[in-house]
A and B are shown apart, each in its own frame.
Chain A
Amino acid sequence: MTSASTHNIEFRSVSKTYGSVTAVSDISINVPKGAFMALLGPSGCGKTTCLRMIGGFEQPTSGDVLIDGRMMNGVPAYRRPVNMVFQQYALFPHFNVEENVSYGLQQIRPKLANAEIARRAGEALEMVRLGGFGKRRIHEMSGGQQQRVALARAIVNRPSVLLLDEPLAALDKKLRSAMQFELQTLQRELGITFVLVTHDQEEALSMSDFVCVMNAGTIRQIGRPEEIYDHPGEFFVADFVGKTNRIEGTLEPGGKVVRMADGGALAIVARPGVEPGPVVVALRPEAIRLEHRPARMGEITGVITHRVFLGSTAEYSVAAPGIGDVLVTADHKTMTESDLIEPGATVTLAFDPAAAHVFRGTANQVTTR
């Protein structure tokens, strides 16, 4: 099989149903060797089911799952070259740290020498900066340390694929960003394919090489984080990945103007292929500038209702007639003037027409399909 060398994980039109409930429907993905892929989506979108089908905890109802070019249908979890970091870590409470980490190595046949197992377990613990913690009991470790034990227990086996099921969800914010950085470094050092499941778009964007956005059991978009963020393929992706303003209207022929319900016009640049008719415009909060000047053709004005100070940035809520509340993020450095804007002021919302994304249909049609 020629695909074996290039694709580490392959889903060929995989579906999974539980009774009458469809968890995953007709998914095909190729994950190249050594990639860091994030499965991103709201809860119940099927991302965890996909992960569990790679791990061997679930079997697809139809379609094929391949790992390293080998068909995995019906192969149990304990015969797959895959290891997983569980959401709640799932460490063995009656073993100490070292025993937890050596467990996988002890199962390898033909048996490894005890000295070899001890050496590799020690190495793995060093790698997650837990050298010297081997004899500790699990309940003596903090949440962050337990997380790293779970990581060491998985990578010590040098699997072909490492699965991470919301591994950082239980950590506090500071520890989480430190672990994000560590995971990324580790992944580059080891060259193992990482598949991360998360509902946290920031986590997905910051760590992975590829983001696979899922909704209602289907893949909505796969791409590099920048692609996903800057060029969302549909309104759901724009809305789920990062904050976005939703503006409904009608695209006029020519693809330069969206006419809103109250008659106001919005200057945009529609991609080729978006037909005139009902559309949804997605506009990032940071793409909008607040300016003290009369609105030009295709711009909108509004009254500032709230300002939330966030440290390096500030968020404004602007009530715009015909649209509703528009969220605007202003950077302190580049927007010194906006610091002075107080709630109650009337401002013009200026943006680059090319920064607005125009999608067919109304928002309702887009999100419910």
Chain B
Amino acid sequence: MRAFATAVYLFLYAPIALVVLFSFNSGRSASEFVGFSTQWYGRALSNTFLMEALQTSLIVAFVSATLAAVFGTMAAIGLERVGGRTRAVFDGLFAAAIVVPGVVIGISTLVALVQVFSVLNPALAALWPGQAPPQLGLGYGSIIAAHGMFTMSLVAMIVKARIASLGRDIVEASNDLYATPLTTFRRIVLPQIRPSILAGFLLAFTFSFDDFIIAFFVAGSNNTLPMYIFASIRRGVTPEINAVATMVLAASIVMIVIARFLMRDKKTAD
């Protein structure tokens, strides 16, 4: 049993460990370790195509995670007051958004966006007062929208769990002490759920940053980092890609650890 478990873990993590190991390889080979070197990290960081893709990924991840945090929190708070069937339906929809495969989300978002654009672009052209009406198309906006909608459910689920553990009592106590609903939200509810919102933001960021499939469908001419990596390994795995993968891995692990830390039960936390 023990040996079996060891084998499973080896199978899971050995390839990742190899990627990390070979990112420090001084030679060009991806199968023969020659010596320790950080030269591929330098190469990766000076590759303009790679840096452009990284920038796209960072912008998309940051904006979509911010939108997801805001709207996810709003959904969680709104649903707190709803009961019965409505609530069950929305809970189901949130869960569905998380379990639906990325391919499906990617294709359906693409189909939906193309349909919407084909209606909106002529309308815009007709209404636009100037000469060159803006053309809506796939790009930053579409990746952000697709990622934001998908990660919003994630934030909503996390924040909803925190609100539920908070109880109605302290909200009522605040109302009882003459605080208006807005003050109650600002001074009592928000400080209590802030760590969960931040945790949701970080998870949303990580999901968006690591996503390949959805972005592949809706990115248009833009390249996100995972898309760049995918495109370049078709030309062979280089230590440079290993270095990039190692950096992405490190950043993701750090963010998920922080998110887990923020999601701990408040009672044991302080």
Contact = CB atoms under 8 A, between A and B. Distances in A.
Contacts of A82: 176
User: Which of B178, B181, B266 has the largest count of A CB atoms less than 10 A from its CB?
Assistant: B178
A133 interface: no
A94 B175 contact: no
Given A103-B179, A104-B178, A107-B183, A84 B192 contact: no
A181 interface: no
Interface in B184-220: 187-188, 191-192
Interface string A211-229: 0000000000000000000
A78 B188 contact: no
A160 interface: no
SS of B interface (majority): helix
Given A57-B172, A77-B172, A93-B266, A103 B177 contact: yes
B179 A90 contact: no
Interface residues of B, number: 21
Given A107-B183, A139-B270, A90 B177 contact: no
Contacts of A157: 177-178
B10 interface: no
Given A93-B192, A139-B270, A86 B169 contact: yes
Contact of B174 (A88, A93, A103, A108): A103
B170 interface: yes
A301 interface: no
Contacts of B167: 90
Interface string A131-160: 000000101000000000000010001000
Given A92-B188, A94-B192, A78 B270 contact: no
Nearest to A81: B178
B180 interface: yes
Contact of A90 (B172, B180, B191, B192): B172
A363 to B, nearest CB: 38
Contact of A77 (B170, B176, B183): B176
A139 B266 CA distance: 11
B173 interface: yes
User: Which of A57, A78, A104 has the largest count of B CB atoms less than 10 A from its CB?
Assistant: A78
Contacts of A88: 169
A56 B172 CA distance: 10
B175 A78 contact: yes
A76 interface: yes
A55 interface: yes
Contacts of A91: 170, 173
A91 B167 CA distance: 12
A86 B179 contact: no
Contacts of B270: 93, 137, 139
27 contacts: A55-B176, A56-B175, A57-B172, A57-B176, A77-B175, A78-B177, A83-B176, A83-B177, A84-B173, A86-B169, A86-B172, A90-B167, A90-B172, A91-B170, A91-B173, A92-B170, A92-B173, A92-B174, A93-B270, A94-B191, A103-B179, A104-B177, A107-B177, A107-B179, A108-B178, A137-B270, A157-B177
Interface of B: 167, 169-170, 172-181, 183, 187-188, 191-192, 266-267, 270
Interface of A: 55-57, 76-79, 82-84, 86, 88, 90-94, 103-104, 107-108, 137, 139, 153, 157
Question: Considering the complex of A and B, which 10 residue pairs feature the smallest CB-CB distances, nearest first?
Answer: A104-B177, A90-B169, A90-B173, A107-B178, A77-B175, A78-B175, A84-B176, A94-B191, A78-B178, A107-B179
